[in-house]
């Protein structure tokens, strides 16, 4: 069994690649990082270190890699042969890989009749559906109907905290012990290849929203408020009493939305929140605030971790959510010079103001009560600096 995985980064090696290899797949990573590609081909294995008191170490074998910018033909060859295709490149890179994927899948049609599943393991709602849309922009009407029959793009939710790596061996990845990979089977074309640790569900929406609007909401709020206080890691942010209680407040707000929308049991959801807060304070992980805060424009999206629960909270309860708006306010102050989206966001705010930026990136009309509440929180955050 051959799995082709785009993105040999933190989640690629530390989570998806590791599960695939442990389930018996030969894993071919596709990446653009020369050094990682070279080392994977040289060593054919890498280490995953579990960040807890156990100090457990796993060796991930039967892996290799290709550079998609330099070895295009090889990527196409592997796409023709693959039994499963997965990605963990980041939502903004899905359009970039869609041309190569379209070409590989097109060539495969004439030589390999086996159906194939493609799973985008990204932090977004409908990641595989989005990838499919990008692939379908590159093919003819006739090909579209063949692709529909042969290729299943399955949406999923992935959860495992994998920080930026500081190991002396560049292939080694330190990961938290917890993981969850929930895949929606609705769009399957035949049997979905088995992967140990992959959970299949009929309807993903309750799971992806629970994950994105709890884990990533809390994470983002800790990161932006932590950055505002000049802290370095998520653990440091969670050790700050004020930030800790702001994260709790925001998660009780997004939790109220999730419980109301999906009927999750209130006590079980509270236990889910507490487990996540515990994960954020894992002393064996050093997760940089600027990693978690990365791409603030993406994170300000109407369908993403902050604005979606804030808007829904207002719609459902006719009240402004205090914790969520404070997190959004802190995001608007994120001015990290090494993050291109942070620079763009600050330039946009200079040009069109916060109201304009909220409209441009979150489609929030200036009359919406959230706008005034966010602006007030921005003033408070600036004063408290
Ligand atoms: N790290 C986490 O804790 C975590 C957890 C769950 C989900 N995710 C999601 O997983 C995805 C990847 O995140 P990450 O933390 O692993 O990021 P990362 O930056 O560590 O990895 C991304 C990889 O993609 C590669 N890449 C970039 N452009 C490419 C291209 N055109 N073709 C092939 N590869 C390309 C990069 O070189 C890099 O190796 C994101 O969507 C993220 O939201 C991350
Ligand atoms: O990957 P992003 O940029 O969408 O979000 C940053 C972190 O919140 C994220 O990577 C988490 O660590 C992960 O989603 C945990 O499952």
Q: Give mean pLDDT, residues 301-325.
A: 98
Q: What would the pLDDT profile of 160-172 be if each residue is shown by its tens digit?
A: 999 999 999 999 9
- 181 and 265, same domain (yes or no): no
Rounded to the nearest 10°, the torsion over CA 270, 330, 300, 350 is 170
Q: Does residue 101's CB lie within 6 angstroms of at least one atom of ligand 1?
A: no
What the block records as the tokens of 321 is: 């959510």
For the segment 366-370, the average pLDDT, to the nearest whole number, is 97
Coil, strand, or helix at residue 229? Answer: coil
Q: Which tens digit of pLDDT belongs to each residue from 127-142?
A: 999 999 999 999 999 9
Q: What pLDDT was estimated at residue 119?
A: 98
Residue 55: its pLDDT value, please?
A: 87
pLDDT at 190: 94
Contact residues for 51 (Cβ-Cβ < 8 A; gap 6+): 174, 175, 176, 177, 282, 284, 285
**Structural domains counted in the chain:** 2
Give me ligand 2 centre to Cα 262, in Å.
23
The domain boundary, picked from 168, 203, 238, lies at: 203
Asked if pLDDT for residue 371 goes beyond 90, the answer is yes
**∠ CA 84-89-91 to the nearest 5 degrees?**
110
Mean pLDDT taken over the chain: 97
2: helix, coil or strand? strand
Residue at token pair 């500081």? 166
Domain match, 165 and 40 both: yes
pLDDT at position 384, please? 87
- Work out the average pLDDT over 318-336: 98
167 and 262 both lie in a single domain? no
> Region 241-251: what's the mean pLDDT?
98
Q: Which domain holds residue 306?
A: 206-383
Share of the chain above pLDDT 70, in %: 100
* pLDDT tens per residue across span 189-235: 999 999 999 999 999 999 999 999 999 999 999 999 999 999 999 99
State residue 267's pLDDT score.
98
With 0-12 CB in 10 A as exposed, 13-18 as middle and 19+ as buried, what is 142? Answer: exposed
Burial label, 162 (beta-carbon count in 10 A; 0-12, 13-18, 19+): buried
- Residues with beta carbon inside 6 Å of ligand 2? 123, 159-161, 215-216, 219, 292, 294-295
Cα–Cα distance for residue pair 183/197, rounded to 1 Å:
11
Q: Which residues sit opposite 28 in a β-bridge?
A: 4, 64
**256 and 322 fall within a common domain:** yes
Final residue in a domain of this structure, among 186, 203, 220: 203
Annotated ligand binding at 234? The verdict is: no
Provide the whole-model pTM.
Answer: 0.97
Q: Based on the domain organization, do 151 and 223 belong to the same domain?
A: no
What's the average model confidence in pLDDT over 94-106? 98
- 115 with 222, same domain: the answer is no
Contact present, 296 and 345 (Cβ < 8 Å): yes
> Could you tell me the CATH number of the domain that includes residue 249?
1.10.1040.10
Distance 43 CA to ligand 2 centre (A): 28
CA distance between the termini of the chain = 55
Statement to judge: residues 231 and 84 lie in one domain? no
CATH classification of the domain holding 88: 3.40.50.720
Are 144 and 183 in the same domain?
yes
Average pLDDT over residues 333-349: 98
pLDDT score at 173: 98
Asked if residues 234 and 287 have their Cβ atoms less than 8 Å apart, the reply is yes
| 3-class secondary-structure state, position 184 | strand
CA-based torsion, 260, 262, 265, 268: positive or negative: negative
The residue whose C-alpha atom lies closest to atom 5 belonging to ligand 2 is 292
Q: Yes or no: say if 45 and 60 are a contact pair by the CB < 8 Å rule.
A: yes
Q: Which of 203, 230, 261 is the last residue of a domain?
A: 203
- Tens of pLDDT, residue by residue over 26-57, are 999 999 999 999 999 999 999 999 999 998 99
For the segment 321-328, the average pLDDT, to the nearest whole number, is 98
The answer to whether residues 270 and 160 belong to one domain is no
Residue-level pLDDT at 385: 77
pLDDT band at 183 (very low <50, low <70, confident <90, very high): very high
Give buried/exposed letters for 68-92 (b at 16+ CB in 10 A, else e).
Answer: beeeeeebbbbbbbbebbbbbbbbe
Q: Are residues 110 and 42 in the same domain?
A: yes
Q: Do 347 and 363 have their domain in common?
A: yes
Do residues 304 and 173 both lie within one domain?
Answer: no
pLDDT tens-digit series, residues 281-293: 999 999 999 999 9
């Amino acid at each position: 069994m051959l799995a082709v995985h785009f993105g040999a980064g933190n989640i690629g090696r530390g989570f998806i690649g590791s599960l695939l290899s442990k389930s018996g797949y030969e894993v071919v990573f596709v990446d653009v990082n020369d050094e990682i590609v070279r080392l994977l081909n040289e060593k054919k294995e890498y280490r995953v270190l579990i960040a807890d008191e156990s100090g457990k170490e796993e060796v991930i074998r039967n892996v290799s890699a290709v550079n998609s910018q330099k070895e295009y033909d090889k990527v196409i060859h592997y796409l023709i042969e693959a039994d499963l295709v997965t990605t963990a490149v980041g939502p903004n890179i899905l359009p970039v890989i869609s041309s190569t994927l379209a070409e590989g899948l097109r060539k495969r049609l004439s030589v390999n009749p086996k159906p194939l599943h493609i799973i985008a393991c990204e932090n977004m709602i409908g990641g595989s559906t989005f990838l499919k849309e990008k692939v379908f922009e590159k093919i003819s009407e006739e090909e579209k109907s063949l692709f529909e029959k042969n290729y299943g793009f399955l949406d999923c939710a992935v959860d495992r905290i994998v920080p930026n790596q500081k190991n002396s061996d560049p292939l080694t990845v330190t990961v938290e012990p917890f993981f969850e990979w929930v895949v929606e089977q609705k769009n399957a074309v035949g049997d979905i290849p088995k992967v140990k640790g992959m959970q299949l569900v009929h309807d993903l929406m309750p799971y992806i929203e629970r994950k994105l609007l709890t884990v990533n909401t809390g994470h983002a709020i800790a990161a932006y408020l932590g950055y505002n206080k000049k802290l370095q890691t998520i653990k440091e942010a969670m050790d700050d009493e004020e930030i800790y209680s702001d994260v709790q407040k925001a998660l009780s707000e997004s939790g109220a939305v999730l419980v109301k929308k999906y009927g999750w049991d209130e006590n079980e959801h509270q236990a889910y929140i507490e487990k996540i807060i515990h994960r954020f304070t894992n002393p064996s992980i050093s997760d940089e605030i600027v990693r978690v805060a990365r791409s603030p424009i993406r994170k300000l999206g109407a369908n993403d971790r902050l604005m979606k629960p804030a808007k829904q909270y207002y719609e459902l309860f006719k009240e402004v959510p205090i914790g969520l708006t404070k997190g959004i306010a802190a995001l608007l102050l994120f001015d990290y010079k090494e993050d291109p989206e942070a620079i763009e966001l600050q330039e946009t705010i200079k040009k069109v103001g916060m109201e304009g930026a909220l409209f441009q990136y979150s489609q929030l009309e200036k009359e919406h009560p959230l706008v005034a509440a966010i602006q007030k929180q921005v003033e408070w955050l600036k004063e408290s600096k």
